């Protein structure tokens, strides 16, 4: 019986082989139709002209790169967008247990997206690493009062400060305080974007290259901002026209920044004419009042920065066009009007030969080139300057920047000034800042912030230019929560929902 079963199996295999060789099938003479290739659905897509330049949170110096940091990494503390009250994220709570001791207790069951456990040791490593790297322009300077970090157990982090600093909790909500895996990140070097990006935030990184950022929801996330979308793609495109074309084709779900003033006017007119308050292609428009802030920053390394007459002449030349009256925006608690705006002013040119000056701007900034050229015209109209406009020139004397502070606090907005004041006013600025950090009296704090802003208006090494609205467009059916941003209005994908 066994031999006969074996013989039958061999005969069946020979028959199937013969059918395969002859090109026949068991269903007849005609070959079976090939299965049609499946078309992968388009991923949920967010589009902007803002590029992500830096993937290591300790080295982030721009709001564009902070998008990755906000969505992929955690910090001990966070805040609702634009709010001045801290909220815990990776921490269960953080409190001052002494005047110069800030103690945080971590949430339980924290893990990085590679499966490694996140403990107090990782927090200590991450923040000490950020202060050691001390990348210029990053938020690391906000941690300046830190003396040492103690970790008595895996869930407790104790920050011992060198002085009383009521603002230290806000430093722990900034990008440089992001928690990284100490088993992967180098102690002394910035991690290149070509290396795996590992965090414990709402999303994990599936791919990051020149074509964009691909994210997946991190299911093991424990914190304040869990994600709803399973996956998404963040695409950086070169210009407003590309974004408008994607909206017309319906190949983008959310648009964040990048649209030119002309495009915004066209879309606003469509929304106003629509009974559904949508654009012609079915997008809703969300206006975020007062969060697009542009400023001019003097390069501390510029050889002409020390020329007081020059700085004052430039500030006066821009007064007529200025729409922001302080380097702390008007919607931030602690704002004090300190720069004159409007009116007719004749800048005083106190030098005989024209001064050559380079004005830089970010080429991805909406309308950046147009505004830089307008500023050049105003400066050259003084009769004492020749201005070359250069995109993406980090060595320029003056830099036109589209700023978002790390958190919505007055001190975070003042950071570029307090980090690099004029040498002659360094002591004054340091004293005012230290007294502000130390005080618990609201009235005194208001006076000290006002003094810092007035001193900034005297020194004019950081100058306000404009403050206006930011816009986000969402395809019909897409919901974007009011909390879908970081503390300083950095874009967060965790508040987005499709359908």
pLDDT of residue 211: 78
Residue 286 lies in a domain: no
Cα–Cα distances in angstroms (integers) from residue 404 to residues 230, 438, 488, 494, in the given order? 28, 25, 6, 19
Separation between Cα atoms, residue 480 and residue 24, nearest integer Å:
56
DSSP 438-491: H---HHHHHHHHHHHHHHHHHH-SEEEEEEEEEEEEEETTEEE-TT-B-TTS-B
Q: For residue 32, is pLDDT > 60?
A: no
Q: What is the pLDDT of residues 421-477, one digit of tens each?
A: 999 999 999 999 999 999 999 999 999 999 999 999 999 999 999 999 999 999 999
- Kindly tell me the burial class for residue 98, based on how many C-beta atoms sit within 10 Å of its own C-beta (0-12, 13-18, 19 or more): exposed
Please give the Cα distance from 229 to 211 (Å, whole number): 20
**What is the model's pLDDT at position 41?**
84
- Asked if the structure places residue 21 within a domain, the reply is no
| Domain-embedded: residue 178 | yes
Tell me how many domains the chain contains.
2
Instruction: Please report the pLDDT score of residue 389 as a whole number.
Output: 98
Q: What is the DSSP letter of 140?
A: G
The answer to whether 175 and 139 are in contact (CB under 8 A) is: yes
Q: Quick one: 381 and 401 in the same domain? A: yes
Here the CATH number for the domain that contains residue 99 is: 3.40.190.10
On whether both 156 and 70 belong to a single domain, the answer is: yes
Looking at the structure, tell me whether residues 450 and 358 fall in a common domain.
Answer: yes
Residue range 45-53: average pLDDT? 96
Residue 148 lies in a domain: yes
Structure tokens at 28: 């007849």
Q: What is the pLDDT of residues 159-185, one digit of tens each?
A: 999 999 999 999 999 999 999 999 999
Range of the domain at 324: 293-469
Question: pLDDT confidence of 499, banded at 50, 70, 90?
Answer: confident
Q: What is the DSSP string of 160-196?
A: EESS--TTHHHHTTSGGG----TTTS-SSSPPPTTS-
| Residues 393, 333 within the same domain | yes
Contacts by 93-102 with C-beta closer than 8 Å and gap 24+? Answer: 94/169, 94/172, 97/158, 99/164, 100/160, 100/161, 100/162, 100/163, 100/164, 100/165, 101/158, 101/159, 101/160, 101/161, 102/158, 102/159, 102/161, 102/168, 102/169
pLDDT exceeds 50 at position 51:
yes
Q: Are residues 61 and 197 in the same domain?
A: yes
Chain center to CA of 235? 15
pLDDT in tens, 76-87: 999 999 998 999
Residues 450 and 375 in one domain: yes
What pLDDT is recorded for position 37? 56
- Based on the domain organization, do 419 and 482 belong to the same domain? no
**Residues 120 and 202 reside in one and the same domain:** yes
Residues 490 and 452 in one domain: no
Asked whether residue 331 is assigned to any structural domain, the reply reads yes
- For residue 247, the SS3 value is helix
Q: Which residues lie across from 172 on neighbouring strands?
A: none
Q: Which residues pair with 473 in a beta bridge?
A: 255, 285
Question: Is pLDDT above 50 for 10?
Answer: no
Asked if residue 459 is part of any domain, the answer here is yes
Residue 39 pLDDT grade (very low, low, confident, very high; cuts 50, 70, 90)? low
Of 23-32, 285-294, 459-468, the poorest mean pLDDT is in: 23-32
Is residue 273 a part of any domain in this protein? no
471, two tokens? 């816009």
Measuring CA to CA, which residue among 79, 76, 53, 78 is closest to residue 66? 53
When the pLDDT of each residue in the chain is averaged and rounded to a whole number, the result is: 92
Q: Are residues 460 and 480 in the same domain?
A: no
Mean pLDDT of 127-152: 97
472 DSSP β-pair partners: 256, 286
Residues 374 and 487 in one domain: no
Beta-sheet pairing, 254-256 with 45-48: parallel
Q: Are residues 373 and 458 in the same domain?
A: yes
Answer yes or no: is 113 within a domain: yes
CATH number assigned to the domain comprising residue 313 = 3.10.105.10
Q: What is the pLDDT of residues 204-238, one digit of tens each?
A: 999 999 878 999 999 999 999 999 999 999 999 99
What is the pTM (predicted TM-score) of this model? 0.89
């Amino acid at each position: 019986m066994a031999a006969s079963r074996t013989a039958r199996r061999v005969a069946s295999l020979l028959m199937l082989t013969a059918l395969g060789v002859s090109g026949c099938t068991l269903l007849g003479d005609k070959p079976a139709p090939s299965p049609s290739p499946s078309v992968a659905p388009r991923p949920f897509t967010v589009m902007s002209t803002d590029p992500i330049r830096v993937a290591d949170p300790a080295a982030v110096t721009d709001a564009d790169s902070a998008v990755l940091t906000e969505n992929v990494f955690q910090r001990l503390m966070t805040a609702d967008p634009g709010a001045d009250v801290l909220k815990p994220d990776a921490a269960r709570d953080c409190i001052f247990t002494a005047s110069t001791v800030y103690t945080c207790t971590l949430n339980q069951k924290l893990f990085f997206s590679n499966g490694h456990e996140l403990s107090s040791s990782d927090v200590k490593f991450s923040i000490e690493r950020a202060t050691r790297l001390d990348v210029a322009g990053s938020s690391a300077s906000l941690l300046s009062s830190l003396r040492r970090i103690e970790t008595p157990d895996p869930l407790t982090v104790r920050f011992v400060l060198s002085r009383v600093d009521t603002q230290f909790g806000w430093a722990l909500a900034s990008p440089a305080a992001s928690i990284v895996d100490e088993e992967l990140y180098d102690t002394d070097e910035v991690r290149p974007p070509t290396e795996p990006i590992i965090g414990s935030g709402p999303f994990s990184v599936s791919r990051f290259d020149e074509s964009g950022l691909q994210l997946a929801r991190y299911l093991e996330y424990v914190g304040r901002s869990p994600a709803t979308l399973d996956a998404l793609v963040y695409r950086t495109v070169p210009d407003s026209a590309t974004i408008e074309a994607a909206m017309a084709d319906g190949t983008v779900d959310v648009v964040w920044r990048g649209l030119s003033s002309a495009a915004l006017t066209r879309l606003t007119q469509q929304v106003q004419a629509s009974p559904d308050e949508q654009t012609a292609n079915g997008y809703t428009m969300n206006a975020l009042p007062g969060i697009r802030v542009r400023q001019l920053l003097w390069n501390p390394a510029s050889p002409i920065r020390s020329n007081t007459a020059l700085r004052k002449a430039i500030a006066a030349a821009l007064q007529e066009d200025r729409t922001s009256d302080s380097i702390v925006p008007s919607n931030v608690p602690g704002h004090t009007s300190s720069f004159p705006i409007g009116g007719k002013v004749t800048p005083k040119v106190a030098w005989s030969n024209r001064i050559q000056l380079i004005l830089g701007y970010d080429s991805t900034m909406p309308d950046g080139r147009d505004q830089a050229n307008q500023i050049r015209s105003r400066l050259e109209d003084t009769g004492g300057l020749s201005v070359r406009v250069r995109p993406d020139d980090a060595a320029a004397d003056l830099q036109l920047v589209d700023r978002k502070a790390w958190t919505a606090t007055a001190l975070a907005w003042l950071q570029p000034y307090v980090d690099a004041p004029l040498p002659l006013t360094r002591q004054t600025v340091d004293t005012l800042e230290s007294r502000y950090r130390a005080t618990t009296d609201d009235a005194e704090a208001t006076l000290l912030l006002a003094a810092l802003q007035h001193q900034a208006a005297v020194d004019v090494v950081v100058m306000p230019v404009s403050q206006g609205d930011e816009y986000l467009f969402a395809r019909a059916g897409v919901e974007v929560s009011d909390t879908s941003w970081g503390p300083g209005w950095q874009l967060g994908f965790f508040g987005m929902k499709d359908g």
